[in-house]
């Protein structure tokens, strides 16, 4: 098992799939919240309208940051699973070659 990793390639694949699913659910929920709240924009006047606009900009930025973080986590899980498999395959090759040399 490669240093720093525990589990199986399937574990990494499942974790990647789960994080992608959560990312998609979060995106959908945040869009629903955005659509609901932005409908109130016309109700605010003056300084309150400015504050509301600033809050919505912050909401949008934070939503994008959260989405990017979840995407990065998913990509890291996918890469970790791939690296894990490559290292496992490499170890199998080494032991296979060693076994062939000992047998031959």
Q: What is the pLDDT of residues 42-90, one digit of tens each?
A: 999 999 999 999 999 999 999 999 999 999 999 999 888 777 666 666 6
Compute the distance between CA of residue 96 and CA of residue 14 in angstroms, rounded to an integer.
Answer: 29
User: How does residue 5 score in pLDDT terms, banded at 50, 70 and 90?
Assistant: low
Percentage of residues of the chain with pLDDT beyond 90 = 61
pLDDT of 1 > 50? The answer is: no
Question: Residue 91: pLDDT above 50?
Answer: yes
Options 3.40.50.720, 1.10.287.1060, 3.10.180.10, 1.10.3720.10; CATH of 9-98: 1.10.287.1060
CA distance readout (Å), 95 to 20, 64, 78, 87? 36, 46, 26, 12
pTM above 0.85, yes or no: no
């Amino acid at each position: 098992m490669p240093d720093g990793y525990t589990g199986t390639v399937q574990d990494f694949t499942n974790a990647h799939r789960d994080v992608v699913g959560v990312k998609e659910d979060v995106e959908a929920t945040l869009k629903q919240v955005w659509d609901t709240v932005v409908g109130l924009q016309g109700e605010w006047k003056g300084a309150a309208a400015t504050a509301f606009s600033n809050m919505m900009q912050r909401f949008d930025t934070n939503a994008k940051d959260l989405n990017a973080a979840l995407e990065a986590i998913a990509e890291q899980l996918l890469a970790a699973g791939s690296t894990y498999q490559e290292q496992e395959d490499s170890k199998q090759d080494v032991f296979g070659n060693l076994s062939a040399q000992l047998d031959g």
